Amino acid sequence: MDLVTVAAGDTIGAARRGVAAVLRAAGLETPDLDARLLVGHALGLDHAGLAAAAERLLRPDEAAQVAALTARRLAREPVTRILGRSAFWSLPLVVTADVLDPRPDTETVVEAALAAVTARQGGRDATRRIADLGTGSGALLLALLTELPAAFGIGTDRSVAALATARDNAVRIGLLDRLRLVACDFGTALDGGLDLVVANPPYIPSREIAALAPEVRVYDPHLALDGGPDGLSAYRAIAADAERLLAPGGVLVVEVGMGQAEAVAALFTTAGLVCETPPHPDLSGVLRAVTAVRQT
């Protein structure tokens, strides 16, 4: 199938198979899934709808829309950004150009945070104040608020546009009344007394950004990627403020890049926190979440 001229009169099933073949030939990792999502989005059909309509013929406008969306994917625009939505912790999130595309690895931070506060602060129904530093789409904050029903959350970000996206997601999920969004650099504008602080800060060393996949390098905001010369600049800022932000017994959980867990844990220890548990691995076995506690 010539992708640029997906033809009216092709069946939906044939269009989907053809798109998958072109994406596969381009070396994309999940061509069949991408094709299903792109064709479904173009036609307004979910997975079941695509299957049921597999023999229906495409109209000219539909063929043009399928071709246009697939051309964007061939240009390495992530499917989530083409669709304008992503799923994180089973939550449907709006994803805009102003925020990091939330990834499954970041769910490790949610898992580690829930394990830590449950072990140290009682059950999930306890009243807590939590903060997400550099909230972006609000993914971490919203996931934690769904799991901690008595918690109140604060999300911070340097980007006002990112905070607008987080607010939109909070409204859609029905959690706006349980959070506040603040424009500031990490926790600089927040008071102390927080029971839980989480963050997925920028951690890519500046010199390595040019080598990232186009899906990340081109489409994720640079502000959310660049971690400074060694990738640790954000962690130094968070560590310097952690003791002020956390209540006694408060927990800090951050996402880290590959090979950074030991260095980040050392920064937190130097700042007076205690890393009682080993870093949590993600599904690939990479140490992804570092947990630290303010003991006094």
Q: Which of 147, 174, 159, 150 is CA-nearest to residue 221?
A: 159
Mean pLDDT of the region 109-137? 93
The pLDDT value recorded for residue 7 is 72
Query: Please, what is the average pLDDT of the chain?
Result: 94
Q: Where in the chain is the domain with CATH 3.40.50.150?
A: 85-293
Helical packing angle, 12-25 and 60-74, nearest 10° = 20
pLDDT at 122 over 50: yes
- Positive or negative CA dihedral for 112, 115, 120, 125? positive
Q: Residue 4 above 60 pLDDT?
A: no
pLDDT exceeds 70 at position 296: yes
Domain 85-293 is of which CATH architecture? 3-Layer(aba) Sandwich (3.40)
**Helix, strand, coil percentages for the chain (3-state, nearest 5):** 45, 20, 35
Average pLDDT over residues 141-145: 98
pLDDT of residue 123: 83
**pLDDT at 219 (0 to 100):** 94
Q: Which residues are annotated as a binding site for substrate?
A: 200-203
Per-residue confidence (pLDDT) for residue 1, from 0 to 100: 46
CATH code for residues 3-75:
1.10.8
Give per-residue pLDDT as tens, 221-244: 999 999 999 999 999 999 999 999
pLDDT of residue 139: 97
Count CB-CB contacts under 10 A for residue 163: 21
Give ∠ CA 98-99-103 in degrees, rounded to 5: 155
Distance CA 241, CA 257 (A): 21
| End-to-end CA separation in angstroms for the chain | 65
CA distance linking residue 199 with residue 222, whole number of Å? 17
Band the pLDDT of 248: cuts 50, 70, 90: very high
Residue range(s) in the chain whose domain bears CATH number 1.10.8: 3-75
Place 25 in a pLDDT band, splitting at 50, 70 and 90: very high
Please report, in range form, the residues annotated as the binding site.
Answer: 134-138, 157, 186, 200-203
Going by C-alpha positions, the residue among 185, 1, 168, 6 that lies closest to residue 93 is 168
The pairing of strands 287-293 and 280-281 is antiparallel
Residue 41 has pLDDT above 80, yes or no: yes
Please report the pLDDT score of residue 5 as a whole number.
56
* Model confidence at 2: pLDDT above 70: no
pTM: predicted TM-score of the whole model, two decimal places = 0.90
Contacts with 192 (C-beta within 8 Å, 6 or more apart), sequence order = 244, 245, 246, 247
Token code pair at residue 257: 């890049």
Kind and range of the H or E run holding 244: helix 233-245
- Of 2-6, 91-95, 148-152, the least confident: 2-6
Instruction: State pLDDT tens for residues 111-120.
Output: 999 999 998 8
d(CA 264, CA 243): 15
Query: Taking residues 30-38, what's their average pLDDT?
Result: 94
